[in-house]
Structure formats: structure tokens, C-alpha cells
A and B are shown apart, each in its own frame.
Chain A
Amino acid sequence: MSPAPAPKLLTAYAAVVRKEFRQTLRDRRIMFMLIAAPLIQTVLFGFAVDFDVDRVPTALADLDRSAASREQARRLLADGTLRHVLDVRSAAEADRALDEGRAAAAVVIPPGFSEDLAAGRTARVQALIDGTDPVRAGAAASAISRFFAAASGDVGRDRLAALGRAPPAVEVAPRVLHNPRLKTAVYVVPGILAMLLVVVTAIVTAMGLSREREMGTLEQVLVTPIRPFVLLAGKMTPFVLVGFFDVVLALAAMTWLFDVPLRGPLPALALGSVLYLCSTLGVGLLVSTFSSTQQQSFLGAFLFVIPAVLLSGIMTPIQAMPGWLRAVTWANPLRFFAEIARGVLLRGAGFGDLWVQLAVLLLYGSLILGLATARFRTQLG
């Protein structure tokens, strides 16, 4: 008996897509996590992630208790970076406040501050800073130094003016483009899009395929005349669509909740999303070929997701990495999608500015998917 004739590719593909869609839609909980979970994450990230350091809890030890010290302290604590949480009576007490975590910075104005100032001697101020969090420590230290340098400059200029002389001064006036109020959410949220797409697609694909393998349903489908790559393409299609839907949903949330602008051409972002989804789905598929259980698939996908997120420039700047690590980020699809999302949304970049990133994603997508399909085939064939 001759084998049944292979169905037309397109018919087989449509059949698999239909089956996958039914299977996915039937399980409400999976639909929930595919659609609601990314939305919840976008919102949570947007509100929680804030690199602008302000409101650093600060203890004040004004041991001078003069009009001058009170005035300086008032102005220092009014600028917003520091928040006055408690008054202490000695440097040792300030130290303890830091130890106990009641304050993250302390400003000590020693006795004799106003006397020194009036006598034309250098008046000294001491700042204690909790260095546990380097970013916060840096911001607090910089705010304190900047404030006293400015105050010092004012006093110096007044003294010179009294002598009838004007000192030269250099001023650099900054003008911030693209995100003038330096809101973190505007920058982070487009990156988060890249992150949650990889979490949803890579992990769900890897675990979904492992589950079929665990239950033996994969073998059942393989004895049908459907070719393996048609089967895979059919399995991936619903996830590409769901991922795309997530992008639209997240974009709506971004513009509505976090005032993320949409400056560039959306087709560039759409093309970037599809190419990027090919890479992440490919990773999921690849991981599943290395795992025998869902637990392993999950851990394996996570093993990819974590370094990929860390080395993408989403959370920390790529510029701040050492050279060798910066080279590694070139192999990371997340980096390129994050660049596309930020470029299009924040800077108004179009195809002309982003063709390199798009080409790289196309290359990675085809490489990863090709490799994964090949492994999948040899394993089952």
C-alpha cells in the first residue's frame, strides 16, 4: 500500500494553526497569562522602576544652631533630592541612624560654622552617606556637594563684590531633548516591552512543547502526514499573533499611563516586533529540544532570559559595561529590539535610522529558528 499523499502545505499549516488556536483559547488561564500578565507587568514596571533618585531620607545634625546654619540646612533640604526625616544631636547619633537604616544620608554642621564663615575662614560641613546603593549614594553625595559648592561660590562672589571685583565663572546650561523631564518610565517602559515578550513567548513555547513531549501527543501528530516544519510553523503562528497583540496592548498602556510618545513610524516597530518574536520563539523551541521535562524547560528558558535581559541595556546602560561584555551584547536580540522600540517611540527614528537593527534581528531570527527546527527534526525523525 502506498502512503497517503501528503496534504498541500498550506492546508496542513492551516489545520495546525486552527488546532493550536482552539487548544489555546479553550484554556482560559493560559489566555489570561498570555494577555493580562504582560499588561500587569508593564504597569507594575512603569510605576515601580524609577532611577531618578529623590527623597533620600536624611538626618540633620545642626550643631551650630545659628541663623546661617539653619538657612543653609533649610535650602539644602528643600531641593528635593534629600528628604528631611529626623534631627539628631551628634555625629555619633547620625551614624547610628545610618546603621539602623532610619536615614540613608546625614548632614552634620559642626559648631563654629557661622563663626568661621563670618571670620572668612573655611567653614566645614560633613556628610555621611549610606553607600549600600551606589546609585542613590552617588546622587545624594552629588546633591550635597553641588549645593555647598554653589553656596560657597555665592559667598565668595559677595566677598569679591564687596572689594569691587568680579571673578570669571563658567556655566554650562543643559538642555535635555526627547525626554526633558527625565522621567524613567518613558525610557524603561519601551524596554520592558522587549522583556515581557521574551518571557511570554520563550517560556511558553519551551514549556508547551515539553508538555506535549511529556504527554506523548507530539508523537501522535508526527505519525500524521504533516511535515515537522509545517507543524512547528503552525504551532508558532498563534504565539506570534498573541505577541503582536501584546505589543499593541502594551503600547496603549504606555501612551495612556506613562505619556510615552509615539514619534516614529509604527510600521518600523511592527516589523521589528515580528522579527524579534521569531528569535524569541526560536529560543523557546531550542530550549525544549534540550529538556525532557517542563521544569527543565522553564529553568532553561530562564537561563536565557536573565542574561539576555541584563545585557540588553533595558535596565542598565550598555555604555557602562566593560568592552568584552559590550561585545557579547551584539549577540542579544533583546538589545536590538529595545533599540528599535526606543528609537521609534522616543526619538522618532524610522527605517533609515534602524535598518541595521532590523537586519540583525532578521539574521538572528532565521539562524535560531533554523537551528531549532533542525534539532527538532533530528530528534523526532
Chain B
Amino acid sequence: MRSRPARFAIRISAMAAKEVLHIVRDPRTLVLAFVMPVLMLLLFGYGVSFDLDHLPLAVADADRTPESRALVDAFTRGGEFDLRARVSPGEAEDLFRRGKAFAALVVRPGYGRDLARGGRAQAALLVDGSDAASASQLLQKADAIARAESLRRAAAAGAAGAPPIEVRNWTRYNPEGRSAVFMVPGLTVYLMALGAVLLTALTVAGEWERGSMEQLFASPVGRTDIILGKLLPYLGLGLVQLLLVVAVGATAFDVPVRGSLLLLFGVGLAFLAGMLGQGLFISVVTKNQLVATQAGTLSSLLPSLLLSGMLFPIENMPPVLQALSRIIPARYFVHALRGILLKGSGPAELWPDFVALLVFAVAILAVATARFQRRIA
């Protein structure tokens, strides 16, 4: 006769083996679960960034003096702007509507004369603001170019020696401003939420849908065994995804791993447990795969993407959403991952995140299990 814990372990591993068999028998799920992270990482690492250069610029130079040409040259020389068209001031708006230019530099007659007199000379920049993010970057760039041109003119006129105030910016953690370094922690969180919540929700809801859940209840396997057996394979899958994303990020994109890997996995485990619990809860409530998908997307994927600080700083959100973000586990995991990978933070800085993740995991698993027990009693 085996001891109780031994029997418990056998039952759970039987359930887990059944689930692993489900996954392995049709490897398409597995392939998708692993191809997706790598694909997303490659896209973000190689392509998707917020950094703009070669912005299409239209120029309307009505002044036609050496000074005005120098200003146009200052705009296009550095590669930030590409001269796309020379137009009359009235044509600029038409170009915007057709999406042919982002900005138009308009130099009125008299620009060169004003400069030669040693005064302030003004040029106008029309900006297509429909893409607000690009427009504000463009404004920053135009501003810097105008400042540099101003300084050059002043220096040429023999006006300025050393500047009176000088500021030295020192950017830490990601000095080159690479999007991949910023995105990898956020993506990891998103992918793990996707895998853990949705795959669990779908597999459990699938058992209800097909009626095989009743068969499981008729077997000597207990409810807790069913839950643990269902969740364990996906816990493993999630950890492998975490490892994969961090490894690809570190090798292909030089994302640093400054903190301890053990800590990384500890926090990852706490996050995964919560996400699996959420998936279980959704499936118990919906019992339908299609509905479970949407519920999972709305309750976990969307908040992980929008409210976790993965893409958009939390401080910028309205207070209601800031408050809401406090109950989103992804927020704590994103913060912890960035800390461990980029800043080399240790337990001293990260224990609040860990505690928050743990509290969420325990609470949601308890609620889901209770609900699961009641459904069938």
C-alpha cells in the first residue's frame, strides 16, 4: 500500500500525462506556442520602433537667398528629414491629405534680409498632426535643428563664445534607446499571459464542451488532482516560453540580464500561477471555448498590453486607469522583469512585486477551485 502523498502524486502525474499527450499528439499547438514569441520578438527587435528619421518634408522657399537655402540644408542634411517636394505654400495641405508629406517648411520672403540685419528671422513649419506621436517627435527634431542653426549663425557673427549654460544628459540602462531592450520584458509578460490564460481556459472549457469533464469526475481522480494535472503542463510551457524569450532577447538583441536568473524564474512562477488560475476561473464560468477566448482577451490580454506599463507609461494614464492597473498582475511582472533584466535589481527592490503576484495567484486559484468544486457537487 502506497502512502497518501504518493497516491496523490500518481493521480496528478496521470492527469498531467494525459494533458501532455493532448498537447504532444497534435504538435501544431506547441509549434504555435513557440513560434509566436520568436516571431513577435523578431518583429519588435528588427522592425518596430517609434524612432523616426527620413521624414518626408515639403519645402516652400519663397525667399531664395543663401540664408534660406542654408536653413533647408540644415533640415535635410542630417537624415532626419528627406526633401520630397518643392511646393508653393498653398500646396502643402494638399500633400498632407494625400499622405505625401509629414511637414512643410515655409520660408517667406524677407527671411534672409532679417538674418543679415542681425535680428530674429522666422520660418514656419506646417506639421500634419494626425499622427500625434510622430508629430511630437518631428517637432522635437525641428526644434533642435533650428537651435543648432541659430547657434551656428550666432557663432558666425562672432557673437557667442562658450555657451553660458551647458547640460550634459546621461541616459542609463538603455543608453542607445533600443526598442528591443524596452520591449522584451513587456513582450515576455504578454506572451506568458496569452499562453497561460488562454490555453488553460481553452483546454478546460474544451473538456466541458465535449462532455469529457463528466467522465473525468466519474474516475477516481479528485477535483484538486484534475486542476493540478491540467495546470502543471501549462506551467511548464510558460516557463519554457520565458526562457526562450529571454534567451532570444539576450542573444539576438543584446538585452542585458543584469540580475539573478533564479529571481527571474521565481517571479515568473508566481505570475504564471496567477494567470493559470485566471484561465481556470474563466473556463469554469464560461464552459465554452469561444466565449472563454473573448473573456480571456478582455480580462487578461488587453490589460496586460495596455495597463501594465509595457507600452505606455502608467503615470500618463487617467487616475481611474491608474487605480485599475494596480489589480493587473502584469503590471508587477513588467516592473520586476525590467528591474531584473535592465537594472540588476534584487529582492530588496522587488519584494513588493513578488508579494502582489503571490497574493493574486493565491486568491484567484482559491476562487477558481471553489467555483470548480461547486459546479459539480
> Does the CB pair A179–B46 fall under 8 Å?
no
> Does the CB pair A127–B154 fall under 8 Å?
no
B120 within 8 A of A: yes
> Does the CB pair A182–B132 fall under 8 Å?
yes
Q: How far is the CA of A122 from the CA of B166 in the complex (A)?
A: 7
Q: How far is the CA of A49 from the CA of B290 in the complex (A)?
A: 27
A90 within 8 A of B: no
Q: Looking at the assembled complex, report how far the CB atom of B131 sits from the nearest CB atom of chain A, in whole angstroms.
A: 5
Q: How far is the CA of A151 from the CA of B51 in the complex (A)?
A: 27
> Does the CB pair A131–B171 fall under 8 Å?
yes
Which of B31-39, B267-275, B360-368 contacts the other chain?
B31-39
B164 within 8 A of A: yes
Find the A residue at minimum CB distance from B310. Answer: A133
Contacts of B46 in A (CB 8 A): 322, 325
> Does the CB pair A177–B315 fall under 8 Å?
no
Find the A residue at minimum CB distance from B111. Answer: A170
Instruction: Take A124-B166, A126-B170, A152-B164 as given contacts and tell me if A134 and B51 are in contact as well, using a CB distance cutoff of 8 Å.
Output: yes
Contacts of A117 in B (CB 8 A): 164-165
Contacts of B154 in A (CB 8 A): 156, 167-169
Over the window 114-156 of chain A, the binary record of Cβ atoms lying under 8 Å from chain B Cβ atoms (1 yes, 0 no) is 0001001111111111111111111101101110110111011
Over the window 202-233 of chain A, the binary record of Cβ atoms lying under 8 Å from chain B Cβ atoms (1 yes, 0 no) is 01100110010010000000000000000000
> Does the CB pair B316–A52 fall under 8 Å?
yes
> Does the CB pair A187–B159 fall under 8 Å?
no
> Does the CB pair B338–A303 fall under 8 Å?
no
> Does the CB pair A132–B342 fall under 8 Å?
yes
Instruction: Take A293-B26, A316-B48, A317-B131 as given contacts and tell me if A122 and B168 are in contact as well, using a CB distance cutoff of 8 Å.
Output: no
> Does the CB pair A307–B39 fall under 8 Å?
yes
Q: How far is the CA of A139 from the CA of B339 in the complex (A)?
A: 21
Find the B residue at minimum CB distance from A123. Answer: B165
Contacts of A141 in B (CB 8 A): 169, 171
Does more than half of chain A's interface fall in helix, strand or loop, or is it mixed? helix
Find the A residue at minimum CB distance from B296. Answer: A298
> Does the CB pair A167–B159 fall under 8 Å?
yes
Q: How far is the CA of A1 from the CA of B49 in the complex (A)?
A: 66
Q: How far is the CA of A349 from the CA of B93 in the complex (A)?
A: 12
> Does the CB pair A152–B165 fall under 8 Å?
yes
Q: How far is the CA of A29 from the CA of B287 in the complex (A)?
A: 11
6 nearest A-B pairs in the assembled complex, by CB-CB distance: A134-B177, A179-B129, A131-B174, A51-B133, A33-B294, A167-B159
A10 within 8 A of B: no
Instruction: Take A153-B150, A303-B36, A320-B49 as given contacts and tell me if A128 and B172 are in contact as well, using a CB distance cutoff of 8 Å.
Output: yes
> Does the CB pair B121–A320 fall under 8 Å?
no
Q: How far is the CA of A100 from the CA of B339 in the complex (A)?
A: 8
- Chain B positions within 8 Å of A, measured between CB atoms, are 26, 28-29, 32-33, 35-36, 39-40, 43-44, 46-56, 71, 93, 96-99, 102, 105, 115, 118-137, 139-140, 142-147, 149-150, 153-154, 157, 159-160, 162-179, 181-182, 194, 198-199, 202-203, 206, 209-210, 286, 288-291, 293-295, 297-298, 302, 306-307, 311-313, 315-318, 320-321, 335, 338-339, 342-343, 345, 349
Contacts of A315 in B (CB 8 A): 48, 311
Instruction: Take A52-B136, A99-B349, A132-B173 as given contacts and tell me if A343 and B312 are in contact as well, using a CB distance cutoff of 8 Å.
Output: no
> Does the CB pair A166–B119 fall under 8 Å?
yes
A20 within 8 A of B: no
> Does the CB pair A47–B317 fall under 8 Å?
yes
Contacts of B140 in A (CB 8 A): 138-139, 142, 146
Additional A-B contacts beyond A33-B295, A101-B349, A174-B142 (11; CB < 8 A) = A37-B294, A128-B170, A139-B136, A149-B167, A173-B122, A187-B131, A296-B26, A299-B32, A303-B32, A316-B50, A321-B49
Contacts of A347 in B (CB 8 A): 96-97, 99, 128, 130
Find the B residue at minimum CB distance from A153. Answer: B150
What are some 12 contacts across the A-B interface (CB < 8 A)?
Answer: A40-B298, A41-B298, A56-B313, A132-B173, A145-B167, A146-B144, A167-B157, A175-B125, A177-B96, A295-B199, A296-B32, A320-B52
Find the B residue at minimum CB distance from A296. Answer: B28
Q: How far is the CA of A276 from the CA of B118 in the complex (A)?
A: 57
Instruction: Take A41-B302, A171-B122, A325-B46 as given contacts and tell me if A306 and B168 are in contact as well, using a CB distance cutoff of 8 Å.
Output: no
Contacts of A30 in B (CB 8 A): 290-291
Q: How far is the CA of A127 from the CA of B119 in the complex (A)?
A: 32
Contacts of A330 in B (CB 8 A): none
Find the A residue at minimum CB distance from B164. Answer: A155
> Does the CB pair A171–B173 fall under 8 Å?
no
Q: Which of B133, B142, B202 contacts A317 (CB 8 A)?
A: B133
> Does the CB pair B172–A130 fall under 8 Å?
yes
> Does the CB pair A155–B165 fall under 8 Å?
yes
CB interface residues, A 10-52, toward B, < 8 Å: 29-30, 33, 37, 40-41, 44-45, 47-52
Q: Which of A41, A182, A207 contacts B289 (CB 8 A)?
A: A207
> Does the CB pair A124–B286 fall under 8 Å?
no
CB interface residues, A 152-194, toward B, < 8 Å: 152-153, 155-156, 159-160, 165-180, 182-184, 186-188
Q: How far is the CA of A310 from the CA of B43 in the complex (A)?
A: 8
Over the window 77-120 of chain A, the binary record of Cβ atoms lying under 8 Å from chain B Cβ atoms (1 yes, 0 no) is 00000010000000000000011110000000000000001001
Instruction: Take A117-B164, A134-B182, A348-B97 as given contacts and tell me if A184 and B132 are in contact as well, using a CB distance cutoff of 8 Å.
Output: yes
> Does the CB pair B121–A171 fall under 8 Å?
yes
> Does the CB pair B157–A207 fall under 8 Å?
no
Instruction: Take A182-B135, A295-B202, A303-B39 as given contacts and tell me if A37 and B298 are in contact as well, using a CB distance cutoff of 8 Å.
Output: yes
Q: Which of B144, B164, B173, B343 contacts A159 (CB 8 A)?
A: B164
Instruction: Take A139-B140, A199-B297 as given contacts and tell me if A294 and B290 are in contact as well, using a CB distance cutoff of 8 Å.
Output: yes
> Does the CB pair A156–B159 fall under 8 Å?
yes
Q: Which of A101, A134, A208 contacts B174 (CB 8 A)?
A: A134
> Does the CB pair A182–B168 fall under 8 Å?
no
Q: Which of A137, A156, A171, A298 contacts B293 (CB 8 A)?
A: A298
A379 within 8 A of B: no
Find the A residue at minimum CB distance from B115. Answer: A168
Contacts of B118 in A (CB 8 A): 165-168
A9 within 8 A of B: no
Contacts of A306 in B (CB 8 A): 36, 39-40
Q: Looking at the assembled complex, report how far the CB atom of B333 sits from the nearest CB atom of chain A, in whole angstroms.
A: 14
Contacts of A127 in B (CB 8 A): 167-170
A234 within 8 A of B: no
> Does the CB pair B52–A319 fall under 8 Å?
yes
Instruction: Take A170-B123, A177-B127 as given contacts and tell me if A133 and B164 are in contact as well, using a CB distance cutoff of 8 Å.
Output: no
A266 within 8 A of B: no
A259 within 8 A of B: no
> Does the CB pair B159–A137 fall under 8 Å?
no
Instruction: Take A129-B170, A187-B132 as given contacts and tell me if A170 and B126 are in contact as well, using a CB distance cutoff of 8 Å.
Output: no
Contacts of A235 in B (CB 8 A): none
Contacts of A128 in B (CB 8 A): 170, 172
